[in-house]
Amino acid sequence: MKIGFGKSIITAPAGFSLVGYFVDRRSIGIMDNLYSTSILFDDGENICCFSVCDLIWVDKKLVKKVREIVNKKIGIKKENIFIHATHTHTGPLSNIPDNSIYQKNFYVEKSYLGILPFYIAGSIIEAYHKRKKAKIGVGIEKVEGISFNRRYYLKDGRVVTNPFNQIENILKSEKKEKKVEDKNKAEDKNNLLNSIFKEIGNLIGKMHNQNIIHGDLTTSNMIVNSNEKKIYFIDFGLSFFSEKIEDKAVDLHLLKRALESKHLKKY
C-alpha cells in the first residue's frame, strides 16, 4: 500500500463575500489561508483519493471539473475521486451566486471560480507524486462539547435546523439558550468560588486572632462542604501558638504559593 498527501492554498483575495450567513459580509484581510488537502491511496491495482476543501460547500459542477483535470493529468478514474468541504463560514463562494438568501448579491470573481478546480486538482496531483509505502491504522476517541444540534423554533410551531429566509418568524433558538445556560453556569461557579475564598479568609482571620499558626496552610488541608458553603481546616500537626506577625504572614505566604501552583486558573 502506498499513500500520498498533497496541499494547495485556495484562499480568495480580500474583498470577496464570506458565505454562510444571512447577510453579505466582505473579507477585509487574510488571517489564515484556506486549503485543499488531499490524501491518496494506491494498492497497486486501484487508486482513490479524498480531498477536503476549506469551503462552505462544493457543487456538482466544481467536482466534475476537478475529476476531469485529475483524470486527464494522472489517469485516476473519475469515480475514485471524492471531494468534500469543511463547511467553513469564513470562506468565499465556490459557485456563481444565485438568488437564495445565502448568495443573493454576494460577490465572487468568475476568474477565481475558473482557477479554483485547478488548485484542488493540484493537491491531488501532488499527493500522487508523493506516494510512499505506508501502513494504515484506525483510532477512535470520543470528544465532548465541540458541537450541538442547532434548532430554531418558528412562530408557526415548526422546528427547523436552518430558517433560511424566515428570520422574522424565529421564536427562539436553542443555540442562544445554550449560550445563556452556559453563561449562567459559569457565573454560578464563579460565585461559589468567591464565597469559598471569602470563607477561607474569615477562618484565617479568626485563627490568627487566637494566635494559632497552622504551619501547613494549603488547600490539601481544607475540606469544602459545597452544599453548606463551609470550609474546614484539618491537619494541625505543624501548628503552634505565636503572636508574631511574621509567623502569621508565613501562613498566608504558604497559602498564596499553594494557590499559584495548584489552582492557577481559578486563582
CATH number of 196's domain: 1.10.510.10
C-alpha distances out from residue 184 to 106, 181, 190, 229, Å: 38, 5, 10, 19
**Residue 114 and residue 196 in one domain:** no
**Residue 40 and residue 119 in one domain:** yes
**Residue 13 and residue 129 in one domain:** yes
pLDDT, one tens digit per residue, over 96-119 is 887 776 677 888 899 999 999 999
pLDDT confidence of 229, banded at 50, 70, 90? low
Q: Residue 124 pLDDT > 90, yes or no?
A: yes
Per-residue confidence (pLDDT) for residue 158, from 0 to 100: 83
C-alpha distances out from residue 160 to 35, 154, 172, Å: 31, 8, 11
pLDDT confidence of 132, banded at 50, 70, 90? very high
Q: Does residue 165 form part of some domain?
A: no
Q: Does residue 143 form part of some domain?
A: no
Domain count, the chain: 2
Q: What range defines the domain where residue 102 resides?
A: 2-133
Lowest mean pLDDT among 40-44, 50-54, 144-148, 198-202: 144-148
pLDDT over 70 percentage in the chain: 87
**Residue 104 and residue 191 in one domain:** no
Q: Decide if 215 contacts 234 (C-beta within 8 A).
A: no
Q: Does residue 147 form part of some domain?
A: no
**Residue 38 and residue 116 in one domain:** yes
pTM of the model: 0.59
Q: Residue 7 pLDDT > 80, yes or no?
A: yes
Q: Does residue 144 form part of some domain?
A: no
Mean pLDDT of 108-134: 95
**Residue 79 and residue 190 in one domain:** no
Q: Does residue 142 form part of some domain?
A: no
Torsion angle of the four alpha carbons 219, 225, 226, 227, in this order, in degrees rounded to the nearest 10: 180
Q: Decide if 97 contacts 105 (C-beta within 8 A).
A: yes
Per-residue confidence (pLDDT) for residue 103, from 0 to 100: 78
**C-alpha cell, 65:** 471539473
Q: Residue 183 pLDDT > 70, yes or no?
A: no
**Residue 6 and residue 127 in one domain:** yes
**Residue 11 and residue 104 in one domain:** yes
- Looking at 76, 99, 133, the residue that finishes a domain is 133
Mean pLDDT of 16-29: 85
**Residue 37 and residue 89 in one domain:** yes
**Residue 182 and residue 128 in one domain:** no
**Residue 59 and residue 117 in one domain:** yes
Q: Does residue 114 form part of some domain?
A: yes
**Residue 72 and residue 192 in one domain:** no
Q: Residue 160 pLDDT > 60, yes or no?
A: yes
Q: Residue 39 pLDDT > 90, yes or no?
A: yes
pLDDT confidence of 41, banded at 50, 70, 90? very high
- Looking at 74, 102, 133, the residue that finishes a domain is 133
Q: Decide if 123 contacts 38 (C-beta within 8 A).
A: yes
Mean pLDDT of 37-41: 97
Q: Does residue 163 form part of some domain?
A: no
Per-residue confidence (pLDDT) for residue 55, from 0 to 100: 95
pLDDT confidence of 49, banded at 50, 70, 90? very high
Q: Decide if 146 contacts 136 (C-beta within 8 A).
A: no
- Looking at 133, 164, 184, the residue that finishes a domain is 133
Q: Does residue 139 form part of some domain?
A: no
Q: What is the mean pLDDT of the chain?
A: 85
